[in-house]
Every structure is written in C-alpha cells, then in structure tokens.
Structure 1
Amino acid sequence: MPATTSTPGLWPGMFFLERGWLSANNIVFVDAHSASVVDTGYWVHAAQTVDLVRSTIGGKPLTRILNTHLHSDHCGGNAALQAQWPSAQTWIAPGQAQHVAQWDPVALSYTPTGQTCSPFQAQHVLQPGTDIQLGAQTWQIHAAPGHDPHSIILFEPERRILISADALWEHGFGVVFPEIEGIQAFEEVAATLDVIETLQPALVLPGHGPMFSDVVSALTTARQRLQGFVQRPERHARYAAKVLLKYKLLEWQTLPLQQAYDWCLQTPYLGLLHAQYFAAHTLQAWLSQLVQELVGSGAAAIEQHDGTTMLCNR
C-alpha cells in the first residue's frame, strides 16, 4: 500500500490511495478542520480502509463519505467508516437512494453479483450538473452512465484532475453491468468517453490501477475495446463472466473447486450470461471453460491439496 503523502499533480491536502483490485482506490481530502473520502473499497478490506483514512486525515474529523457509484468495491467500507465517524454525512450517486434507505441488496446488485456489502446509510446525492467543495477546490459532478447507469465522475477544472471511477482506466473501463441484464448500454459508455474527452483532463485518478496523464491513449484504448464489444457482444459477456469469478476469487484466494462451481450456479448474473449467450453449452461445461480460461491466462491455478481439487488465485 502506498504511503499517504502528497502526490505530484494533486492539490495540497489531496491524497490518492491506490488499492488492490478487490477494493477501489480511495481519494482523501483534508482541510484545516475536516476531511472527506471518495469511495471506500470492498467489505473484507473495511478495517484497512478505516486505518488508511485515519492515518491520512491526521486527527481531523471525517465529515463526508462520497461514492461515485454503489458497486460493492466502491462502497464496501461505508458502514465501517460510519461506525468510526458517526457524524460523517454520506453522499451517493443519484438513482439508488431509495434502495439504500430500504437496503435492497438485489436492486443494489450485491445479490446478483454474488458479492457482499455491509448496510449503510446515505443522507445526500451527488447531483450531475452541480458542484461540490472538496478540500479547497470546487469539483464538477458529471453523469457517467455505462459501467453503471447511476455512476458519476468528478472533475476539478483548474488543474484538470478527473476522478473517473470505472468509466475510464489506463487500459480500459469496467464491465458494462446493464448489458448483463440485457439492457443496451454500450452507447452510454461511448457517450461517457466523449464527456471525458471534452473535459480534457490532464490527470486521471481511476477507480482501479495507478493514476495516469496520457488520457489520449487511454481513450483510444477504451474506444477500441468498446468497439470490439459492440461488434461481438459475446466477447463482453465472456469477459464479464470471468471478471465476476475472478473478483470473487480475489476475495476467497483459495477454495475447493466444487465450492467455486456452487457459487457460480447460485449467482444470478452468471446464469443470465449463460442463458443469453452460451446456452448451446450446458451451464456446468461453460463454467468449466471459464475456469480453464482463467487458469490459461495465469489469473488462477488448480492445485491438489489432500486429495481435494482447489481453485487458487494468482
């Protein structure tokens, strides 16, 4: 984990905490009297998130928690942070406030993805087309649908810093989750990439991976990747299925292969992908193929432990 020191290109009092792929990156803002954090990681890393935030804010009270969207890797630390700083106000992207208030894990995607998120409360929404003060700077809130229909990005126009969440990474973008449900969203991904290009950021702080400044190359890569998905949607479906399994494997690290298959069989999004794109194969045969592709790419390994076949993260 990188040290919580000022990073070149960022404003004083602004910190970029690059996390592993199980937890989204955190951006922390500290001013004279208070602190804010954007995105909070996955629930299994919640204690680590609390420790990172505490060490970064240096005794200032955490007054705001912001989520670019409500996928489990971006808000899984909310509940732990709220427990440590009960007066902190939580701001979420609009569109799912009622689901949070009623805590509906199906509508919030946690049940369909087979993931977990500890229940939390939210008091405000990050409304696109408005501004928000973070540290001493004013940040623009922009809608960024595609990866998630409710996602937002944050842009600071003076230094042209973009908090892009999963709308743009250095080498791509996040799984287009509406497409898993059969809702066409590739056009929304393209429109969000156009918004980012119009903003002309000089520095991008993505939801995963290191910050980067070669935005032209990143946009080119993202558009090429998107065009491949548009031309062959089954490519995206296979990619999405492997991402769901690999993400869960990051949480498990090692478990019996049969338990991994059982989880796949119980995870609704994997069933949807199979039914929409791969029904020519039995579900079990398709899942076996996904595992073999992860192993073939070096993302996983199959090992024998005391006579049990284990699936292991790599």
Structure 2
Amino acid sequence: MSGTAKERTDEGRGISDREDGGETAAENAAQRGDTAAERLENGWFRVKIPLPYSLRYVNSYLIPEADGSWTLIDPGLNTAESRDIWLRELNRLGIRFRDIGRIVLTHQHPDHYGLAGWFQLQAGCPVLMTAEAGRYARRLWGSGSVFAAELTGWFRNHGMPEELLVQLGPHLASFRERVEPQPRLTDLEPGSRLDMGGESWQIIDAPGHAGGGVCLYSDASMTLIAGDQVLPRITPNISLIPGMQEDPDPLGSYLDSLRELSGLETRQVLPGHRDPFPDAGRRAMEIIAHHERRLEHLLGLLAEGPASAFDLCEREFGTHLRHNIHNLRFAMSETLAHLARLAKRGKAAVSGPAGGPWTYASA
C-alpha cells in the first residue's frame, strides 16, 4: 500500500461483522437501495464484498459460462456481512448455488479465500488454487498450526517488545473462523491455461504478495485478472516470514513479477481491490519505482547506524502502529522484506547470535 503507513499495511483482517446499530452492511445497503454487484462490459459481474478494515471491500467476480453455470473468483472473507450480501445478490441476479460451477482463487489471503469453503458446501463445486497457496493456507490455519509461535519468536529476534508480541497469538487465532470451513482444493497450475467465460486464460505465477498467488490473462480480450498483484493507487503488502519453505526475498520476487506483467498489453485490469483500470504495465512500473524509493529511504536510515528491524519499522511507519497489532504485523513483515532485498543486493547486512537479537547495518 503506497502513501500513508495505514495504506501500506491495510491487507489485514478486521474486528467486527456488524455496524454500531446492529444491522449488517447488507441490510443497510438493501434499505438504501444500493447493490454490491456491478455489471461489467463483458457481461461479468463485479461483486464488492465488504471488509471490516481499511480496504473496505474485496472484488469478487462472477463469470457466465456457455453451459449456464458461473465461475466465481475470490468470494471474500467469511463474515455474517459477506454471507448476507452474497445471499441477497445471488437472489437478485437469479443465480442459484447449484449454478456456481467452480471457484477460482487468485491467492490464499482470508479476504479472498475465506468464503470458498462455505460456497463449496452450498454449491458442491470444485475450488481451484495452486498447491503452494494451499500449503501456506494449511500452515496458517491447518490443524496443529504453530505459525503464531514461529512468528512471535521471529519478531522477538528482530526487536519487537514483549508487550506487543503477546498480542500476536490471539490476533492470528481470530482469523480462523473467517476461513472456516476450509475448502477441498483442486490444483491450479501456473503456466497452464484455463478456459473461462469463452476465453482461454494463461495462469501466471505471481509471487511476492502471496506465495502461490496467480494472475490470469486473456490474449483475446487483453484482460488481466490481477488479484492483489497490481492494484490502483495502493500497493499490496510484501511480507518476509519465517520458514525454510518460504521465499527468502519476496520483494525481489514481486519486482520480477511486476516486470513480467509490465510486458502484457491490457485493455482491462480487474484488481482484487479498488476499481478496474486499463494499463497493467504502467501501474506495474509505478509500483516498482515506489519500492525503489522505499529501499533508498531504508538505506538512509541504515546510514545513521545499526538498528533492529523493529526500530527501522517504527522509523518507517510510525510508532502509532503499536496501537494496532494487525497493521503493525504487516508493517514489520514488509520492513523485513525490504531489508532482505537490500541484503540480497549487498547493501545491508544482519548480525547477531543464532537465537537473536539481530541488528541490521549498511554493508
């Protein structure tokens, strides 16, 4: 997320399913005559599913198929508000659950993945996501997950104070109900093609923001289904997380992905958040430039002397995030991703004993 620290870290999950008056967002919208579904030029529908945090909504897409079924992309976070809106909108559009032939997930973050299992139970349809994204989802929310403890230890070694570390476990645990029930997955293979909406779509590996994430591109209509990889006006969170199977340089992978996407000719980009826009290449290059500025700024902070990642995070994003563990988690992980990129370039180095604490310095 570009701009303010809040924008850079708004990929998190929220705190409440209902507004202060007790009515759901769906009920309030219905009373105002609003609709969450917008018909696109190609006959698809964009359905804006509300999120209880600063991004406000996630874009889900309904794609009509020749056999009368529908493909659903990224159904949203599993909350009472989301379910209410889907029930209302499907009824308004005359789409029955059994008409949904499959669900395609661009990545495994809860605001995209969370309702997939609920829809699968209602519709009995397959859910397509990459094997790598499935592995990561199981690591976070599978039975016996120890990710919260691993992340707590990781952040401790990077300088986060104990009064903040104790909040991480409950914070991460609160997401589980928003992805349950979890779906049975059918593998989606990067590099393959998928017939959808009367077009053949290239499945493009899109790492950096989410391990195993993909974009989908149609040469025929020059349309890119971008997930969170290329967003208008904001940039997705890029997180370095602990684990031998995880990407040691997610920002480098993300920048490489943006360079690949910048070579696509697009007339329409359908993002996971905010409004559709025409030019993926231009926006990809803008995001690359944004991260290069961030890297230069971080180098300037390192030039002032060695520091922990947590200290650098607060100098980059502000101390006010101590009051929002959700945004702080993403700011910390993104700071670490930028430090890893600088280390890969030979411009920064980390030091300290194996068990921490660790500090970074200019190389």
For the criterion TM > 0.5, the same-fold answer is: yes
Q: 1:220 Cα shift?
A: 3.5
Change (3 A) 1:194 1:62: same
8 Å CA contact 1:19, 1:208 repeated in 2: no
8 Å CA contact 1:180, 1:273 repeated in 2: no
Is residue 2:107 matched to residue 1:91? no
Q: 1:54 Cα shift?
A: 5.0
Tell me the matched-pair count.
257
How many angstroms apart in 2 are the aligned matches of 1:149 and 1:99? 7
Counterpart residue number, 1:257 = none
How many angstroms apart in 2 are the aligned matches of 1:132 and 1:93? 13
Change (3 A) 1:49 1:3: closer
Look up the SS of the partner of 1:162 in the other structure. strand
Change (3 A) 1:229 1:4: same
Counterpart residue number, 1:206 = 271
Q: 1:23 Cα shift?
A: 4.1
Counterpart residue number, 1:118 = 180
How many angstroms apart in 1 are the aligned matches of 2:208 and 2:170? 18
Paired amino acid for 1:264: I
Structure with the larger RCO, 1 or 2 (CA within 8 Å, 6+ apart): 2
Identity rate of aligned residues, in percent? 18
How many angstroms apart in 1 are the aligned matches of 2:82 and 2:93? 15
Q: 1:216 Cα shift?
A: 4.6
Counterpart residue number, 2:69 = 34
Is residue 2:256 matched to residue 1:218? no
Look up the SS of the partner of 1:163 in the other structure. strand
Counterpart residue number, 1:300 = none
Counterpart residue number, 1:141 = 203
- Within a 5 Å distance, the mapping from 1:191-202 to structure 2 comes to 191-202=256-267
- Within a 5 Å distance, the mapping from 1:98-247 to structure 2 comes to 98=135, 103-104=141-142, 114=172, 116=175, 117-178=179-240, 183-233=248-298, 237=313
How many angstroms apart in 2 are the aligned matches of 1:93 and 1:155? 16
Structure whose alpha-carbon radius of gyration is higher: 2
Counterpart residue number, 1:295 = none
Gaps in structure 2 of 5+ consecutive residues: 1-33, 152-167, 299-308, 340-363
Q: 1:204 Cα shift?
A: 0.5
How many angstroms apart in 2 are the aligned matches of 1:78 and 1:239? 38
TM-score between both structures, scaled by the size of structure 2:
0.59
Paired amino acid for 1:72: P
Of 69, 94, 100, the residue aligned with 1:62 is 100
Counterpart residue number, 1:281 = none
How many angstroms apart in 2 are the aligned matches of 1:164 and 1:72? 17
Q: Which segment is superposed worse, 175-184 or 143-152?
A: 175-184
How many angstroms apart in 2 are the aligned matches of 1:162 and 1:195? 13
Counterpart residue number, 1:302 = none
Change (3 A) 1:82 1:46: farther
8 Å CA contact 1:144, 1:150 repeated in 2: yes
8 Å CA contact 1:175, 1:240 repeated in 2: no
Paired amino acid for 2:95: G
Q: 1:119 Cα shift?
A: 3.1
Gaps in structure 1 of 5+ consecutive residues: 246-259, 278-314
Look up the SS of the partner of 1:65 in the other structure. strand
Paired amino acid for 2:110: S
Counterpart residue number, 1:50 = 86
C-alpha RMSD of matched pairs (Å): 3.9
Paired amino acid for 1:157: D
Q: 1:79 Cα shift?
A: 2.5
Is residue 2:40 matched to residue 1:7? yes
Change (3 A) 1:149 1:3: closer
Of 33, 39, 59, the residue aligned with 1:25 is 59
8 Å CA contact 2:261, 2:281 repeated in 1: no
8 Å CA contact 1:165, 1:206 repeated in 2: yes
Q: Could you list the per-position Cα deviations for residues 135-184 of structure 1 after superposition, in whole angstroms to 9, with x for gaps in the alignment?
A: 21211100000111211001111111101111111124210023688932
Paired amino acid for 1:29: I
Paired amino acid for 2:195: Q
How many angstroms apart in 1 are the aligned matches of 2:315 and 2:94? 38
TM-score between both structures, scaled by the size of structure 1:
0.68
Paired amino acid for 1:46: S
Change (3 A) 1:157 1:40: same
Is residue 2:325 matched to residue 1:264? yes
Q: 1:128 Cα shift?
A: 0.7
How many angstroms apart in 1 are the aligned matches of 2:171 and 2:272? 18
Counterpart residue number, 2:303 = none
How many angstroms apart in 1 are the aligned matches of 2:286 and 2:210? 20
